[in-house]
Copies of this chain bind each other. A is one copy, B any other.
């Protein structure tokens, strides 16, 4: 009987003891599945992310997991691999598993959001983090990308760069647009011209290598690069060094967010530290607030986390 195990006050001590002994003798393990069905609460939350194989996302997951396991929740992780179709099918999976809430960072391909609305109509609270879905009314945890990018670009300007390139992410993502915006703001403020040949959509290691190659071939040589993520920055760095340019003397480089990679390059990469773990715990706390509270009115909350520019060798001229 469940009351004995649950240490209910109305139960005789002897009975409790007897039941508990029997339970441990039979190695009784409560069946979480039956419990979920009974309670229509699964004590499980879902995570939808593009790819686990990125330091940023895996550190966010660590943050989420720590909060979840501390609250007795299990975590189901679904990767979209940056594919829209996979994201839709993941949403269906999580819905049918009746997760109690979902933390989401959308894929690069995603520009339709019905699958998220379905989830919400199914009564599942959603918290978007980092790569949010524009137009969906839900809790958000974001980095102050405009401000961080502004600071990164301003730092390049202050160290003497005049022709600063931006390697941008796909403009479907809010974070990509914001990072571009911060870059533009800094240029405008400093009275520097905005040159379209210096703004290129390139957000992977490989794309950066190619892009830089083409730029140098065309004589379109920047003296600074602000890249949308660290792998892109590192790709650029490699090609630049291979072509014989000196970093940071001839070209300065600043990346964004990918964590521990920055300490490995030579010179070390200046980058914006995005505090992935903290974003994970924050997002998870917000989700559990929704799950566990029973407020009727739904007012979406937005948490903006600071991201800090860390200046290292790749942009440090003396």
Q: From the candidates B97, B234, B263, name the one contacting A33 in the complex (CB within 8 A).
A: B97
Whether A199 is near chain B, meaning CB under 8 Å from some CB there, is no
Whether A19 is near chain B, meaning CB under 8 Å from some CB there, is no
- Number of this chain's copies in the complex: 2
- List, in ascending order, chain B residues with CB within 8 A of A31's CB: 37, 96, 98
Closest to A30 in B: B96
Given A27-B118, A74-B93, A264-B264, does the pair A42, B33 have CB atoms closer than 8 Å? yes
Contact B33 A98 (CB under 8 A): yes
Contact A58 B52 (CB under 8 A): yes
Q: How many residues of A contact B (CB 8 A)?
A: 49
Interface string of A29-43 (1 = CB under 8 A from B): 111111011000010
Interface string of A5-34 (1 = CB under 8 A from B): 000000000000000000000010111111
- List, in ascending order, chain B residues with CB within 8 A of A122's CB: 27, 29
- List, in ascending order, chain B residues with CB within 8 A of A165's CB: none
Closest to A277 in B: B53
Whether A59 is near chain B, meaning CB under 8 Å from some CB there, is yes
- List, in ascending order, chain B residues with CB within 8 A of A69's CB: 86, 89
**Minimum distance in angstroms from A139 CB to a CB of chain B:** 23
- List, in ascending order, chain B residues with CB within 8 A of A42's CB: 33
- List, in ascending order, chain B residues with CB within 8 A of A53's CB: 55, 58-59, 62
Task: List 16 other contacts, CB 8 Å, given A31-B96, A238-B263.
Answer: A27-B121, A29-B92, A29-B122, A32-B97, A33-B37, A33-B42, A33-B97, A33-B98, A44-B76, A53-B58, A53-B59, A65-B79, A69-B86, A74-B97, A264-B264, A265-B266
- The 18 sampled A-B contact pairs (Cβ below 8 Å) are A27-B118, A27-B121, A29-B96, A31-B37, A31-B98, A32-B97, A37-B37, A44-B97, A52-B58, A62-B79, A65-B79, A74-B78, A76-B76, A77-B77, A261-B261, A261-B264, A264-B265, A266-B266
Contact surface of A with B, Cβ cutoff 8 Å? 27, 29-34, 36-37, 42, 44, 51-53, 55, 58-59, 61-62, 65, 69, 74-79, 81, 86, 89, 92-93, 95-98, 118, 121-122, 205, 234, 238, 241, 260-261, 263-266
